[in-house]
Amino acid sequence: MNETTTYYAPLQFIADASDEGRRLRDVLRKRVGISRKLMVKLKMSDEGLTVNGEKARPYDLITAGDVIALHMETEQSEDILPQPIPVDIVFEDEHILVVNKRAGIIVHPTTGHYTNTLANGIVYHWQERGERVRFRPVNRLDEHTSGLVLIAKHVFASQQLGEQMKAGTIEKQYRAYVYGQPPGQKGEVNAPIGRQTEDPHRRVVREDGAPSLTYYEVADVYGHYATSLDVRLGTGRTHQIRVHLTSIGCPLIGDSYYSLERWSESEIAVQFAKVIERQALHAVRLAFDHPVTGVRMEHEASLPEDLLNLEAMLREIRSE
């Protein structure tokens, strides 16, 4: 074994009667839905797969009571510069990390933004703890959207959470403050989203776009000026909430990119700009099955100061 190779704590499973006589690879696919890519990676690793403490091969036969263990080599993000950026940690164990992202910070380095991202701060956090971990975000938020972000700390957790994302079992709820009032106390926006021809960075509702579904429910109404909404995603398209809410005449307060002129040029917009300088959107709740234990987890992030100030202003306007 290469002495420089280090491993995460092994993931262990005990074979039961239904696993008797089956091949190791089939047991792992049935038990945890292990991907072919990860299976190959474990097979190539010195200690990747063991049964009862002995190195095993994917096609070995399993007996009830066997202790199956996955040993994954540690990885780290070599291309992400660690920076001492404050990170609001909501939950962390050896498999996942949940953070409350502040507005104004990008999740992952991109062209022209290699530093001062959430990833830079998290990699520094792990470095300070002596952990060798690669940054794998499961969900992402726009730069000026605040709230909960889920990060997988190893490839198995990433695979498992990725499958939940595809299946739609990860619940994401947002609090949105919008201009005007939507049609009805609750409803859905089922409209395809695609890139705008003139501006490829901008998304719009268009017939040839990708199927997109957003659910909303009114949380509070502030006269005819504004409404707060609890929003859930049926799909996860880029800028989906911003595009869908604008499409029903209720753009997010503070969102200059997807606003409507009748609101962005209004006197009320000038008042709102005194307390909030970004889109009024916060990822308030995240629920998912833990990728290793299978236990259902639910995390919440309270509203940040700027949204609390906006809400206070809205209540004052309503009482006038």
Listed residue (92, 85, 78) closest to 122, CA to CA: 85
Helix (H, G, I), strand (E, B) or coil at 3: coil
For the chain, domains (ranges, CATH) are 11-70 (3.10.290.10), 89-167 (3.30.2350.10), 171-319 (3.30.2350.10)
Both tokens of 38, joined, read: 């990860």
Confidence of residue 4 (pLDDT cuts 50, 70, 90): low
Given the DSSP bridges, would you call strands 11-14 and 49-51 parallel, antiparallel or unpaired? unpaired
Given the DSSP bridges, would you call strands 146-152 and 171-179 parallel, antiparallel or unpaired? unpaired
Cα separation of the two ends of the chain = 74
- How many other C-beta atoms lie within 10 A of the C-beta of residue 273? 13
Alpha carbon distance 30, 222 (integer Å): 52
pLDDT tens digits for range 218-255 = 999 998 889 999 999 998 899 999 999 999 999 999 99
User: Does 285 have pLDDT greater than 90?
Assistant: yes
What Cα–Cα distance (Å) separates residue 180 from each residue in 30, 135, 228, 250, 252? 50, 39, 10, 6, 10
List the catalytic residue out of 16, 19, 46, 142.
142
Alpha carbon distance 148, 288 (integer Å): 12
Catalytic site includes residue 142: yes
Alpha carbon distance 168, 54 (integer Å): 37
Q: State the alpha helices, DSSP H only, in the chain.
A: 24-32, 36-44, 118-128, 155-167, 240-247, 261-264, 267-272, 305-319
- What is the value of pTM for the model shown? 0.89
Contacts of 83 (CB under 8 A, 6+ apart): 115, 116, 120, 121, 123, 124
Confidence of residue 320 (pLDDT cuts 50, 70, 90): low
pLDDT tens digits for range 163-212 = 999 898 999 999 999 999 999 999 999 999 999 988 988 999 999 999 99
Alpha carbon distance 175, 317 (integer Å): 19
Residue appearing with tokens 């009667």: 17
pLDDT tens digits for range 68-124 = 999 888 888 888 999 999 999 999 999 999 999 999 999 998 888 889 999 999 999
Both tokens of 202, joined, read: 């901008």
pLDDT tens digits for range 124-136 = 999 999 998 999 9
DSSP 17: G
